[in-house]
């Protein structure tokens, strides 16, 4: 099947071997929080900040060892290059509060990542599920003590990120980012700040947020090791009327301060598409970060599937030669289904979308667009949809030592491990 598919794609000017080789080199950052429904390990408190999980499927990881075991099993069924994405609330054995976190509280994660041979670790300050989220506000709070606590938390996270980058370099032989400095750690700042009803003042909270971010960035972190991103959101539960960290605020702040924007495709109005935003940002930014999710009518964080918008996101990354510029991370959590199946299905969907994009002759399609040959362009784009993509995907899995069937393995793990928790 693969040899026939290889010939068919060759007729369109596409080298399937080159596509598979390229796919193997594109890292995807896998979020740890699918395994325990964003509960975390630091005992910070119940979920807040408009974040919620629905469902109570048996087998949720309850501690570090269980979460490690589940990640190990899930990663063993995922093809391609993988990174691990952590929230600060996953500190292991930390007696200190979040503003006093240190690298030692994450040493166990580094050891684990090295054992799995991962490409690196990414990091997120956790500014929710904590007593110091006062009146729904953190970095924009009018309470100076609250702001200071979260500023110090973010500064601590930057130091921890430097530690991740340094440690993972000592393990990795090849560095696709900056060889002399190791694997940079993406630190993504998202805050839940906003108001449920119509605010009396929209500017002042944003000025306070700007001041807080300025203080965080002034801590002197190593830009060669840490990529800072800011993540916007249009609204959330309890902040329906006003979000302090809006898209306009963060895009301007990031551009002015030479940091990165992170686009979560669940954080916009339903008629806005992240696939369209990626090339817009690539015109101005060296790096663009993604949280790939699937929103159903709102930011519901459903499991990522191989569907149209995901394909379009991957096309923009590939056709613009931006596989080293767009930092791909997954961000969803579903407690109504087997959590390992959620992890694996979403990661494989992302890989499928990238392969689908790599198996397209974008140069030819761009020429048709520039020549205004729109009829031919439409027909050619439709032809790609019935090409033997599945045969190339199966070949890729075979070379990764995997099969299409991962459900059988997951069901066995559920029977032997998850059902006994």
The pLDDT assigned to 146 comes to: 98
Whether 9 is in a domain gets the answer: no
Give me the mean pLDDT over the 247-269 stretch: 94
8 Å CB contact between 190 and 196? no
Gap between the Cα atoms of 379 and 112, Å rounded: 49
Q: How many domains does the chain have?
A: 1
Gap between the Cα atoms of 345 and 343, Å rounded: 6
Gap between the Cα atoms of 243 and 241, Å rounded: 7
Whether 416 is in a domain gets the answer: no
Whether 152 is in a domain gets the answer: yes
Whether 81 is in a domain gets the answer: yes
Whether 253 is in a domain gets the answer: yes
Give me the mean pLDDT over the 81-105 stretch: 94
The pLDDT assigned to 283 comes to: 97
Give me the mean pLDDT over the 148-156 stretch: 97
Name 271's Cβ contacts closer than 8 Å, sequence gap at least 6.
none
Give me the mean pLDDT over the 10-29 stretch: 97
Whether 239 is in a domain gets the answer: yes
Angle at Cα 150 formed by Cα 145 and Cα 155, nearest 5°?
125
DSSP secondary structure, 304-337, as one string: P-S-HHHHHHHHHHHHTT-TTTEEEEE----SSS
Which pLDDT band holds residue 171 (cuts at 50, 70, 90)?
Answer: very low
Give me the mean pLDDT over the 352-368 stretch: 98
The pLDDT assigned to 49 comes to: 59
With the C-alpha atoms ordered 339, 342, 348, 350, is the resulting torsion angle positive or negative? Answer: negative
The pLDDT assigned to 175 comes to: 31
State which residues form the domain around 321: 27-361
The pLDDT assigned to 299 comes to: 79
pTM of the model: 0.94
Whether 394 is in a domain gets the answer: no
Give me the mean pLDDT over the 271-297 stretch: 94
Catalytic residue ranges: 190, 231, 233, 264, 267, 291, 299, 301, 331
% pLDDT > 70, the chain: 95
**What tens digit of pLDDT does each residue of 176-232 get?**
333 344 578 999 999 999 999 999 999 999 999 999 999 999 998 999 999 999 999
Identify the H or E element spanning 180.
none
* Mean pLDDT of all residues belonging to the chain: 93
What is the CATH classification number for the domain harbouring 315? 3.20.20.150
Where do we find the tokens 């370099």?
169
Residue 59 vs residues 31, 66, 122, 166, 215: alpha-carbon distances, Å: 18, 9, 25, 34, 41
Whether 113 is in a domain gets the answer: yes
Q: Tell me the sheet residues that pair with 30.
A: 84
């Amino acid at each position: 099947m693969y040899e026939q598919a290889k010939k068919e794609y060759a007729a369109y000017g596409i080298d399937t071997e080159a596509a598979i080789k390229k796919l193997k080199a594109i890292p995807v950052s896998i979020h740890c929080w699918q395994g325990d429904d964003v509960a975390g390990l630091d005992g910070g408190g119940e979920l807040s900040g408009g974040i919620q999980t629905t469902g109570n499927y048996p087998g949720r990881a309850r501690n570090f060892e269980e979460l490690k075991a589940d990640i190990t099993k899930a990663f063993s069924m995922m093809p391609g290059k993988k990174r691990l994405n952590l929230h600060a609330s996953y500190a292991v054995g930390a007696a200190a509060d979040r503003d006093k976190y240190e690298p030692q509280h994450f040493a166990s994660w580094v050891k684990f990542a090295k054992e799995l041979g991962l490409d690196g670790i990414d990091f997120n300050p956790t500014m929710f599920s904590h007593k110091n989220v006062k009146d729904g506000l953190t970095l924009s709070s009018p309470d100076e003590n609250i702001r200071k606590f979260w500023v110090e938390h973010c500064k601590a996270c930057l130091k921890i990120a430097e530690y991740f980058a340094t440690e993972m370099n000592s393990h990795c032989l090849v560095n696709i980012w900056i060889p002399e400095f190791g694997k940079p750690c993406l630190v993504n700042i998202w805050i839940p700040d906003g108001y449920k009803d119509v605010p009396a003042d929209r500017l002042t909270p944003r000025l306070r947020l700007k001041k807080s971010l300025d203080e965080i960035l002034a801590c002197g972190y190593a830009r060669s090791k840490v990529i800072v991103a800011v993540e916007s959101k249009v609204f959330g539960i309890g902040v329906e009327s006003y979000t302090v960290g809006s898209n306009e605020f963060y895009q301007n702040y990031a551009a002015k301060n030479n940091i990165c924007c992170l686009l979560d495709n669940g954080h916009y109005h339903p008629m806005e598409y992240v696939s369209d935003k990626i090339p817009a940002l690539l015109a101005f930014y060296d790096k663009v970060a993604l949280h790939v999710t699937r929103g159903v009518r709102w930011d519901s964080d459903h499991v990522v599937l191989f569907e149209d918008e995901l394909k379009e996101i991957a096309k923009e990354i590939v056709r613009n030669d931006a596989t080293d510029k767009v930092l791909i991370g997954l961000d969803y959590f579903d407690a109504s289904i087997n959590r390992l199946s959620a992890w694996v299905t979403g990661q494989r969907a992302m890989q499928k979308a990238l392969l689908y994009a790599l198996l397209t002759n974008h140069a030819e399609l761009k020429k048709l667009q520039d020549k205004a040959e729109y009829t031919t362009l439409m027909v050619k784009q439709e032809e790609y949809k019935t090409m033997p993509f599945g045969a190339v995907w199966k070949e890729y899995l075979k070379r990764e030592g995997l099969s299409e069937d991962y459900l059988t393995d997951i069901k066995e793990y559920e029977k032997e491990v998850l059902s006994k928790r």
